[in-house]
Amino acid sequence: DFDIDFCMDKRELVIDYVRKAYGHQSVGQIATFHQLKSKSVVKDVGRVKGLSPGDAARIAALIPDPIAGKSTPIYKALEEVEALKTLYDTDPAARDVLDIAQGLENLTRHAGMHAAGVVMSEGPIWDHVPVFCPDEGVYVTQYHKDDVEAAGLVKFDFLGLRTLTVLDKAVRLINRRPDREGEFDLSALPLDDRGTYALLCSGETTNVFQLESTGMQELFKKLKPDCFEDIVAAVALYRPGPMGAGMHNDFVERKHGRQRVEYPHPSVEPILRDTRGVIVYQEQVMQIAQVMGGYSLGGADLLRRAMGKKKESEMAKHKATFVAGAAKNNVEQKTAEDIFDLMAFFAGYGFNKSHSAAYALITYQTAYLKAHFPVEFTCATLSADKEKSEKVVRTVAEARSMGITVLPPDVNESEIDFSVVYSPDEGRDIRRPKDKPVCQKGVVHDPQVPRIRFGLGAIKGVGSAALDTVFESRQDEIQNQDPFIDLFDFCARVDLRRVNKAVVEALIQCGAFDGVHAPKQVSRARAFAALEQAIERGKRLAAEQASGQTSLFGLLAEADTAKTYARGGGTFPPAQDWDSRDQLQREKASLGFYVSGHPLDRYAAELRRFCNADTETLASVDGNTTIVLGGSVEAYRERRTKRGDSI
């Protein structure tokens, strides 16, 4: 069983490579089996029995939501939810649906394909396990992942690691900088950069790989790493086992000289020197067995496994072998026994160093980018998380606290992902990258400030087909940028069969037309009021072009007038401007959060006065402190506890 991490956007490339390298017939993906859970089975049965989707959904809504991923059985919901019981007793159609649903509940609904699970075989895969083919040349096992292993196939998990995607996007953004000289190479980073270690010690490590939790940030602030080995060790130590044994505290105390570094025997000092006498890694257990106990590397690995499983019979055999081998190396029996017991204790917590080092390198790389290229790193993070509103909100808030400007979407400037744009410095306070070119007089030359432009792909309800036609339409015949003039020009040029009214409404409400309409002083409310007219004109123009006709303006007026018809020129009707709260609510409906402000901005002073925490700092507040939070209630729903109480 192999687990391998890849960039999220390139996992399919890896699977295609494996198929070509080892043969399409010998490579398959693993099936997943979806069950008929209580809510879904009610909806399915309701559809088959002829109920409207709304009626079936209303019955299903009376079943409590899953708790910790576990659905509430229908029979239990009938016992606990009075409204569902009443419906069952009074509505024959609902009773029929619920009775049939109980008989089908938890059966397998359909088979799917695991996104990451891949198996390989010698010869055609169907010689080993049954398969099905969702697409031509794609083979999926009909066995579950555990049964596939039992059948003797090698299983790989090609996992999509978000951070690798962030690194890839950030490097491409850095290499697009107008002041960049030479290719930025992530693999050539120096591992002794002071700025990177300063950031790691500061605790300001949001979006730095593995350092987002409060506990990990506190460990790094206490540890104050100043070399790469410290990061590797911290990654291995921050796990329940080592922390429960206090190993992380011993490591910190020994690093700062507050606890004496001791080695169980002089021969193991070279092995434990980097971890200050603490056995942290599985490889250290194996090395001690090899150096002191005379084990081969293969035998040392068997010892590691036996220690991890804590099988007493195997441990007794290995202890005798270790002590005998140590005696040949002039180690006293008592010392050898004590060291074996020490190894056995730490082996239960030991982490694979090669894994820890690989993850530590990613930690260092993300910290380096955040310290030296904060705009590009933040932009890449937003792009990787664009479908997760809560993460985008947090990252945008942190960007603004760092002095980085996050601009709203723009129909002319935005790409699918978040992007970095450059404009003249307006005196904004921004954490400047440290590799800026320096003039002869020693003054930093920075005529342009990087800012982050919101990506159109993060707007709710705007699909890839709609975005494709927007990007195609804002280019001329030779692929040069041909910006939209206004809403009317936009509707005249895009394919309104793919960009429907709801898409354009979302673009207006989130502010994507603000930059286009600013010179004309057209507000979002006026653009929204003109939408019907703009779409109607766009459809009429498209119909005329499709039929080969010429518009009335093209026949009777000058050529520039015809161009004006095609390139805007419509009238924006007067409309009452949206108040700030209405505008913010529309932004949130389109983007999932607020961009131009926040409904609580007007209460900022009161919140600072009365509140002692917010959702970001809540986890770090002392457990004995009374928490005071401020907020606004926008929606609520009832939940049921394990005891059946409504909250």
What is the spatial order of strands in the sheet that 154-161 belongs to? Answer: 2-7, 154-161, 108-120, 27-35, 138-141, 131-135
Of the pLDDT bands very low, low, confident and very high (cuts 50, 70, 90), residue 191 is: very high
Instruction: Indicate whether 430 pLDDT > 70.
Output: no
Of the pLDDT bands very low, low, confident and very high (cuts 50, 70, 90), residue 311 is: confident
Q: Which residue has the higher pLDDT, 14 or 560?
A: 14
Q: What pLDDT, on the 0 to 100 scale, is given for residue 431?
A: 40
Mean pLDDT of all residues in 155-175: 92
Sequential DSSP letters for 152-207: T-EEEEEEEEHHHHHHHHHHHHHTT-TT--S---GGG--TT-HHHHHHHHHT--TT
Mean pLDDT of all residues in 596-613: 86
Q: What pLDDT, on the 0 to 100 scale, is given for residue 568?
A: 59
Instruction: Indicate whether 309 pLDDT > 80.
Output: no
Given a contact cutoff of 8 angstroms between Cβ atoms, the answer to whether 444 and 430 are in contact is: no
Mean pLDDT of all residues in 41-48: 93
Mean pLDDT of all residues in 280-285: 89
Q: Which among 465, 450, 395 is positioned nearest to 419, based on CA atoms?
A: 450
Instruction: Indicate whether 560 pLDDT > 50.
Output: no
Mean pLDDT of all residues in 419-436: 56
Q: What is the pLDDT of residues 433-484, one digit of tens each?
A: 444 333 333 333 344 789 999 999 888 888 889 999 999 998 865 567 788 9
Instruction: Indicate whether 67 pLDDT > 80.
Output: no
Of the pLDDT bands very low, low, confident and very high (cuts 50, 70, 90), residue 557 is: very low
Q: What pLDDT, on the 0 to 100 scale, is given for residue 322?
A: 92
Give the containing element (helix H, strand E) for 287: helix 282-291
pTM: 0.77
Of the pLDDT bands very low, low, confident and very high (cuts 50, 70, 90), residue 556 is: very low
pLDDT, the chain, mean: 85
CA distance 472 to 482: 10
Give the containing element (helix H, strand E) for 384: helix 374-384
Instruction: Indicate whether 527 pLDDT > 70.
Output: yes
Of the pLDDT bands very low, low, confident and very high (cuts 50, 70, 90), residue 245 is: confident
CA distance 269 to 253: 18
Q: What pLDDT, on the 0 to 100 scale, is given for residue 426?
A: 46
Q: Which residue has the higher pLDDT, 410 or 616?
A: 410
Mean pLDDT of all residues in 250-261: 92
Mean pLDDT of all residues in 524-553: 83
Mean pLDDT of all residues in 19-35: 89
112: Cβ–Cβ under 8 A, 6 or more apart, which residues? 31, 32, 33, 34
Q: What pLDDT, on the 0 to 100 scale, is given for residue 641?
A: 64
Q: What pLDDT, on the 0 to 100 scale, is given for residue 519?
A: 87
Q: What pLDDT, on the 0 to 100 scale, is given for residue 642?
A: 60
- Output the six-digit token pair for 537: 């004109």
**Helices vs strands, H then E, count in the chain:** 31, 9
Mean pLDDT of all residues in 514-522: 89
Q: Out of 19-33, 501-515, 580-594, 631-645, pick the least confident.
A: 631-645
Q: Please work out, in degrees rounded to the nearest 5, the angle formed at the alpha carbon of residue 379 by the alpha carbons of 186 and 459.
A: 140
Q: What pLDDT, on the 0 to 100 scale, is given for residue 48?
A: 94
Quick one: what percent of the chain has pLDDT higher than 70? Answer: 90
CA distance 134 to 238: 42
